[in-house]
Amino acid sequence: MPLWFTLAVTKAAAMSSRLLGRGGGHALPGLIAERLDPGLAGRLAARLPHGVIMVTGTNGKTTTTKLIASILEASGERVLTNSTGSNLKRGVTSALISAAHLSGRLDATIGLFEVDEASLRRVTGELKPDHIVVLNLFRDQLDRYGELDTTAALIGEGIAATTAQLYLNADDPLVASLSRYAPRADLVHYFGVEELPPDAPDVPQTASDSDRCPVCRSRLVFSRTFYGHIGHYRCPTCDFARPTPDVEVTEVTSADASGSRFTVAVGGERTAVVFPLAGTYNMYNALAATSLAHGCGIAPAGVAETLSTTVAAFGRVEELTLGGRTLFLLLVKNPVGLTQVLETFVSRESAPHVLFAISDLDADGRDVSWLWDVPMEALIPADAVVLTTGIRGADMTLRLHYAGIAADEVDDFTVAVERLVREIPVGGTGYILPTYTAMLAIRKMLAQRTSMQEVWR
């Protein structure tokens, strides 16, 4: 089947899907291409002169992908990337199709794809990425993937099918252990954090995801924990230990709700970074992007410049003004992520205003049990004003009830946001914490009321 034919058919499908208003037509072209010409994505990707980068891991894929895109664009690349939420194989294929001319020509110089953990092995064999970034592995939507060890093994299979340069989080034991899947040791690069500021709050940890040695199953000994199971560790039984990072945050001079200031060491070179996205988890995203950029030959000074400037544009998507109040929209999807968001934005405020929007559709994860794995008791101040909404808003109300926090439940997203805005004093700030589909619905509604740009393309 000629390439132009497959492209014409799939592009037409994307267009009609968009006309029909069926969710932007993200997956459909990929789905059709899989039937018509299963090798299409690989053939298109092979036309990208500077190759393909893939970003995977439980938390931070979207943010890190956006950071890397900005860094690459600043260095002169034309970046082809998949849109938020289309990180399964057909989403990657769709992105390639929509960027291709009918001749199969691509204007982009490099491909950058956020890839779902379980899908990585399905795309690496075909797309032959040149670089793979693995951010972290936490429990997330297990109803889809099974267990954390299984997810790690799936990523490992994806890695083993390539000769890509690997950028692994040295501070996540399970991620660091993925180096064993690399076909050659010289392909492996690590990034990590040396130390957080001494005043970093001590968040009580609940069930740790992965504090067992991935090699021999002994309990790891941690000399430092930054969040979840992320920190400095070694196995008391075998020789598994945190590898020495190639790219490292050596010092964090400040970290608060406005972001963090830190020093990153690449080889012998130290660069100061002012990074306007709050939270330790976001600092790791910036570090992962820096590590990848170094692997692509981009100088740290240029990376620091991009990190300090382009993030503001991204941050606007999440921060908006409505009725004279500032609202933060912060996606939550698993216990470690929600713990980090509460710790960064809610726990240090007096009388914070918070709206939880919890749903249980496929894209949210159908099991809402994980709400009980978050230490709400320690993270939500007793004087907080809390509302809940979403299909499983009642579950959130119940979780809060057992944490000693009374929350009002509101049936409708629009009414809930309006109510939140009314509760916040003029000039004040509120936080909306939605799961994935709730976030899409709330964004859509807010986009009609504010100047916020929709991310939906």
Partner 1 sequence: MSAEIVIAHLYPREMSIYGDLGNVIALRKRLEWRGYDVVVRPVEVGEPVDLTGADIVFGGGGQDSGQLVIGADLLARGESLRALAASGTPMLVICGTYQLFGHGFTTIGGSELPGISVLGARTVGSTVRMIGNVVVESPFGRLVGFENHSGQTTLDPGQEPLGTVTKGHGNTSTGHAEGARTMNVIGTYLHGPILPKNPRLADHLILTALNRRFGVTELAPLEDAVEHRAADVAAQRPQ
Q: Cα dist. 108→14, 52, 55, 56, 72 in Å?
A: 20, 11, 18, 21, 12
Partner that binds at residue 102, options Zn ion, partner 1, none, CB closer than 5 to 8 Å by kind: none
Least spacing, CB of residue 133 vs partner 1, in Å: 25
CA–CA dist 187, 286 (Å, integer):
21
Partner that binds at residue 235, options partner 1, Zn ion, none, CB closer than 5 to 8 Å by kind: Zn ion
Helix (H) or strand (E) holding 214: none
- Interacting residue with Zn ion among 12, 102, 238, 313 (CB under 5 A): 238
Partner that binds at residue 208, options partner 1, Zn ion, none, CB closer than 5 to 8 Å by kind: partner 1
Contacts 24+ apart (CB under 8 A), 118-122: 118/144, 118/145, 118/151, 118/154, 119/87, 119/88, 119/89, 120/54, 120/56, 120/154, 120/155, 120/157, 120/158, 120/159, 121/154, 121/155, 121/157, 121/158, 121/161, 122/89, 122/158
By C-beta, is 206 or 347 nearer to partner 1?
A: 206
By C-beta, is 102 or 207 nearer to partner 1?
A: 207
Burial class (CB in 10 A: 0-12, 13-18, 19+), 21: exposed
Q: Classify residue 212 by its DSSP letter.
A: B
Q: Which stretch binds Zn ion (CB under 5 A): 72-80, 84-92, 207-215, 362-370?
A: 207-215
Q: Which residues have CB under 8 Å from 400's CB, separation 6+?
A: 376, 380, 386, 388, 406, 407
By C-beta, is 160 or 391 nearer to partner 1?
A: 391
Q: Does 235 bind Zn ion (CB under 5 A)?
A: yes
Of 337, 333, 357, 369, whose CA–CA distance to 416 is shortest?
A: 357
By C-beta, is 216 or 312 nearer to Zn ion?
A: 216
Least spacing, CB of residue 392 vs partner 1, in Å: 7
Q: Which stretch binds Zn ion (CB under 5 A): 119-127, 218-226, 328-336, 414-422?
A: 218-226
**What tokens does 128 get?**
């032959």
Handedness of CA 357, 358, 362, 365 (dihedral sign): positive
Least spacing, CB of residue 137 vs partner 1, in Å: 12
By C-beta, is 153 or 215 nearer to Zn ion?
A: 215
Binding residues vs partner 1 (CB under 8 A): 139, 142-143, 146-149, 206-208, 211-212, 217, 219, 360, 366-373, 391-392, 394-395, 397-399, 401-402, 409
Least spacing, CB of residue 358 vs partner 1, in Å: 11
Partner that binds at residue 238, options partner 1, Zn ion, none, CB closer than 5 to 8 Å by kind: Zn ion
Partner that binds at residue 391, options Zn ion, partner 1, none, CB closer than 5 to 8 Å by kind: partner 1
Residue with tokens 């929509």: 98
Partner that binds at residue 386, options partner 1, Zn ion, none, CB closer than 5 to 8 Å by kind: none
By C-beta, is 102 or 238 nearer to Zn ion?
A: 238
Partner that binds at residue 383, options Zn ion, partner 1, none, CB closer than 5 to 8 Å by kind: none
CA–CA dist 378, 255 (Å, integer):
20
Q: Which stretch binds Zn ion (CB under 5 A): 101-109, 171-179, 216-224, 426-434?
A: 216-224
- Interacting residue with Zn ion among 181, 226, 227, 240 (CB under 5 A): 240
Coil, strand or helix: which one is 241?
A: strand
Least spacing, CB of residue 379 vs partner 1, in Å: 14
Q: Does 137 bind Zn ion (CB under 5 A)?
A: no
Of 119, 352, 135, whose CA–CA distance to 228 is shortest?
A: 135
Helix (H) or strand (E) holding 95: helix 89-99
Partner that binds at residue 349, options partner 1, Zn ion, none, CB closer than 5 to 8 Å by kind: none
Q: Does 215 bind Zn ion (CB under 5 A)?
A: yes
Number of residues that bind Zn ion (CB under 5 A): 8
**What residues from 252 to 281 belong to the interface with Zn ion (CB under 5 A)?**
none
Q: Does 213 bind Zn ion (CB under 5 A)?
A: yes
CA–CA dist 285, 191 (Å, integer):
10
Beta strands in 185-343 (DSSP E): 188-193, 221-227, 230-234, 247-256, 259-266, 269-275, 319-322, 325-329
Partner that binds at residue 240, options partner 1, Zn ion, none, CB closer than 5 to 8 Å by kind: Zn ion
Give me the amino acid identity at 373: D
Cross-strand bridge partners of residue 80 = 111
- Binding positions for Zn ion, rule: CB under 5 A: 213, 215-216, 218, 235, 237-238, 240
